[in-house]
Amino acid sequence: MTRHSAALRSPALLALVLGAVAATGFAPLDIWPATLIGLAGFAWLVHDAPRLKSALWRGWLFGLAHFTVNSNWIQHAFDFQSAMPPALGYVACVALGLYLAVFPMLAAGIAWRLGRRAGFVPDAAFILILAAAWIGTEWLRSVLFTGYAWDPIGVVWLPVQAFAGIAAWVGTYALSGLTVAMAGLMPVLARRRWWMALPALAVPALLQPLSYLRPTSPQIAASTPRVRVVQPDIGQEDRSEDDGPRVLDALLKRSGAPGPAPRLIVWPEGVVRDYIEDGYPRWIYGLHSARSVRAQIASVLGPRDIALVGGTALAFDRDDSITSAANSVFAIGAAGRIVGRYDKAHLVPYGEYLPLRWLLEPIGLSRLVPGDIDFVDGPGPANLTLPGFGAVGIQICYEIIFSGRTVDPAHRPRLLFNPSNDAWFGTWGPPQHLAQARMRAIEEGLPIVRATPTGISAIIAADGRLLATVPHETAGAIELPIPPALPPTLFSRIGNPMAALVALLFVGLAVALRRRSR
C-alpha cells in the first residue's frame, strides 16, 4: 500500500462541490454517473482528513450542498403561505440542508474512526465501512424526529432498471450502501489496474437502454377491473372555497364513462374543497351538502365503479367547535355512499401540523398548509377492502417515501394508491416524488397508482416501470387494467432488517480484508 501524499488546498470547497454534483443524479436531471463520481470523491476526501473533526466537517459540508440542491423545491411551498414571505423558502432550503447534513457527517466520522489507516490511501476495507455507515445513517434519517426519508441515494438507479431491481431483495437503504461501495471502490481498483474501474460506469450505462424495453402485454379480458387516474391541473392558487364547483367539475369531466369492466376512479389529494361526510354542523357545509357532493361524484360511476377521493375529515366537541382534522381518502360507491375511509398516518411536520406550536407560533412561524387546526394521524398502513377490487392499500402523499413502512404486513393488498398534492413542489419535487413511489413498487412487488392535481400522475407496474403518466402541469386522465402484483419480494417479507444484514456483511468483509493484509 503506497503512502498518501496528496494535499488538498481547499477541502471544504471541494466537499461542497462534490455534494452538489452527487445531487444531480436524482430526478429531474437523472445524471447517475455524477452521483458515483461525487461519492467517490467524498470517500477519498473523508479518508484524507487529518483528524476526526476534519472528517466530520467535510462530511457535513458534503451533505449541506447535497441536500440544499436536491431539496430546492421546498422554496415553492412558501409561495402559497401568506403568513410567511416567499423569500423565507430559500432560507428553509438551507436550514433543512443544515440538519440533514448531520447524517453524511455521521457516516464520515464512523468511517474515519473505524476504517482509516493513517498514512495510507483508501482501501477496500475503508470503503466498505463507509458504505455500512451510510446504510445506518440513511435509515436513521428516515426515523429520527418522525423521519425525513426523501431521496435516499439508491433512488438514482431508477433509469437503470436492472440495478434498481436490487431493491426488491435488500431495499432502498441497502441499495444506497451498495452504491456508496461501488463508487468508492472505483478509484481503489483503478489504482491497481486503471481499466478495473470501468465496469462501475460502463455496465450500468450499457444496461440503461434495456430499461426502456417493454414486455409484451398479455391478453386481458374485457371484464378485468380497470383503474382511471384523473389529473385536473388545478394549481394551489386555484383552490379557494369559491373555486370548489369549478374544481369538482374539472374532476368529473375527466372521470370518463362507465364500461363493461368495473373502474376504480382515483382523484388527487387536496383538490375537493367540499366535505364528504354527513353529520357535521350545518355551518360547515355552506351551499353544498355532503350528500349533494357525493351524488355528483356518483353521477359518473357505473354500477360496479368506485371512486377514491381525497378530502378532509373533521372532529367536533359538544359545542360544535372543530377539535381536529384528518387528511383522508374516501371510497364512494355508485349509490353515493361512503364505503371506506383511510386517514393519513405519517403527517408532515410544518405542513400538516406545527411542532412545538406553543413556542413557534408566538415568533411568527406557522404551517405551510393554511389553517390553525393541526391534523391528527391515523392508525398506520392499512387497506380499504372494496367490492370488486379487493384490498387496496392507501399511502397519502409523503407516506410513500418511507421504505418498509408502506404496506400492512399482515394483509398484503393487490395495489397501492398514492394520492398526492405535488402542486407545492415546484418542478424538481414531482419527479423526485414519483421516483420514490417507483422504488416502493419495486421493494414490495406491488403496482402503485399516483394521482396528483398538477402532476406527475402515473400508473406504475409492480417492477417499478411507468405504464402510463400524465405529465407535469397537464390536464388529463389515464386508464388501464389494474396491473398485476408480483409474488411477495424478499424485502417485502423481511423489511429493513435486510439493510442491517447488508451493513453487517460489509463490516465483516472489511474486517476480513484487513486481517488478510497484515
Domain of residue 320, CATH code? 3.60.110.10
Sign of the four-CA dihedral 423, 459, 343, 348: negative
In this model, does residue 247 exceed pLDDT 60?
yes
Task: Give the mean model confidence (pLDDT) for residues 168-187.
Answer: 95
What is the Cα–Cα distance from 161 to 212, expressed in whole angstroms?
A: 9
In which domain, by residue range, is 116 found?
11-212+496-517
Q: Describe the crossing of helices 124-143 and 172-190 by its angle, rounded to 10 degrees.
A: 160
What is the Cα–Cα distance from 234 to 251, expressed in whole angstroms?
A: 10
In this model, does residue 197 exceed pLDDT 70?
no
Q: Which three cell numbers stand for residue 112?
A: 474515519
Greatest mean pLDDT among 10-24, 231-245, 353-367 lies in 10-24
Q: What pLDDT sits at residue 5?
A: 39
Domain contains 487: no
Q: What pLDDT sits at residue 352?
A: 67
Q: Which residues pair with 450 in a beta bridge?
A: 418, 458
Same domain for 233 and 187: no
Q: What pLDDT sits at residue 117?
A: 84
40-44, 147-151, 290-294, 362-366: which has the minimum mean pLDDT?
362-366
Domain contains 168: yes
In this model, does residue 296 exceed pLDDT 50?
yes
User: Considering all CA atoms of the chain, what is the largest pairwise distance in Å, rounded to the nearest integer?
Assistant: 80
How many DSSP H helices and E strands does the chain contain? 18, 12
Task: Give the mean model confidence (pLDDT) for residues 269-275.
Answer: 89
Domain contains 276: yes
Task: Give the mean model confidence (pLDDT) for residues 407-427.
Answer: 92
In this model, does residue 211 exceed pLDDT 90?
no
What is the Cα–Cα distance from 254 to 292, expressed in whole angstroms?
A: 19
Same domain for 115 and 239: no
Same domain for 393 and 317: yes
Q: How confident is the model at residue 23 (pLDDT cuts 50, 70, 90)?
A: very high
Same domain for 42 and 120: yes
Q: What pLDDT sits at residue 174?
A: 97
Percent of the chain's residues with pLDDT above 90 = 67
In this model, does residue 480 exceed pLDDT 50?
yes
Task: Give the mean model confidence (pLDDT) for residues 253-268.
Answer: 96
What does the pLDDT look like over 311-358, one tens digit per residue? Answer: 999 999 888 888 889 999 999 999 999 999 999 998 877 666 655 554
What is the Cα–Cα distance from 514 to 518, expressed in whole angstroms?
A: 7
Task: Give the mean model confidence (pLDDT) for residues 348-371.
Answer: 57
Task: Give the mean model confidence (pLDDT) for residues 227-253.
Answer: 85
Q: What pLDDT sits at residue 348?
A: 79
CB 335 within 8 A of CB 328: no
Q: What pLDDT sits at residue 361?
A: 53
Domain contains 490: no
Same domain for 22 and 171: yes
Domain contains 2: no
Count Cβ neighbours within 10 Å for each residue of 177-204 and write b for 16 or more, e otherwise: bbbbbbbbbbbbbeeeeeeebeebbeeb
Distance, first Cα to last Cα, the chain: 11
Residue type, 203: V
Q: Which residues pair with 330 in a beta bridge?
A: 309, 341
Task: Give the mean model confidence (pLDDT) for residues 57-77.
Answer: 94
Sheet with 448-451, edge to edge strand ranges: 382-386, 390-394, 415-419, 448-451, 457-460, 466-470
Q: Which three cell numbers stand for residue 405?
A: 413502512
Count Cβ neighbours within 10 Å for each residue of 310-319 and write b for 16 or more, e otherwise: bbbbbeeeee
Q: What pLDDT sits at residue 214?
A: 58
What is the Cα–Cα distance from 251 to 477, expressed in whole angstroms?
A: 10
Same domain for 60 and 141: yes
Count Cβ neighbours within 10 Å for each residue of 100-111 and write b for 16 or more, e otherwise: bbbbbbbbbbbb
Same domain for 405 and 448: yes
Q: What pLDDT sits at residue 74?
A: 87
What is the Cα–Cα distance from 288 to 310, expressed in whole angstroms?
A: 17
Same domain for 42 and 146: yes
Same domain for 199 and 309: no
**What's the predicted TM-score (pTM) here?**
0.91
Q: How confident is the model at residue 284 (pLDDT cuts 50, 70, 90)?
A: confident
Please state the length of the chain.
518
Domain contains 219: no
Q: How confident is the model at residue 3 (pLDDT cuts 50, 70, 90)?
A: very low
What is the Cα–Cα distance from 63 to 16, expressed in whole angstroms?
A: 8
- Average pLDDT of the chain, as a whole number: 88
Same domain for 508 and 426: no
What is the Cα–Cα distance from 495 to 87, expressed in whole angstroms?
A: 40
Domain count, the chain: 2
What is the Cα–Cα distance from 199 to 196, expressed in whole angstroms?
A: 7
What is the Cα–Cα distance from 3 to 19, expressed in whole angstroms?
A: 27
What is the Cα–Cα distance from 55 to 45, expressed in whole angstroms?
A: 8
Q: Which three cell numbers stand for residue 479?
A: 386508464
Same domain for 235 and 364: yes
What is the Cα–Cα distance from 429 to 451, expressed in whole angstroms?
A: 15
In this model, does residue 8 exceed pLDDT 80?
no
Greatest mean pLDDT among 43-57, 66-80, 280-294, 358-372 lies in 43-57
What is the Cα–Cα distance from 27 to 430, expressed in whole angstroms?
A: 9
Same domain for 19 and 50: yes
Q: Which residues pair with 226 in a beta bridge?
A: 263, 481
One DSSP character per residue, 34-61 reads HHHHHHHHHHHHHHH-SSHHHHHHHHHH
Task: Give the mean model confidence (pLDDT) for residues 68-90.
Answer: 79
What is the Cα–Cα distance from 224 to 226, expressed in whole angstroms?
A: 6
What is the Cα–Cα distance from 101 to 436, expressed in whole angstroms?
A: 20
Q: How confident is the model at residue 137 (pLDDT cuts 50, 70, 90)?
A: very high
Task: Give the mean model confidence (pLDDT) for residues 55-65.
Answer: 98
Domain contains 466: yes
Domain contains 199: yes
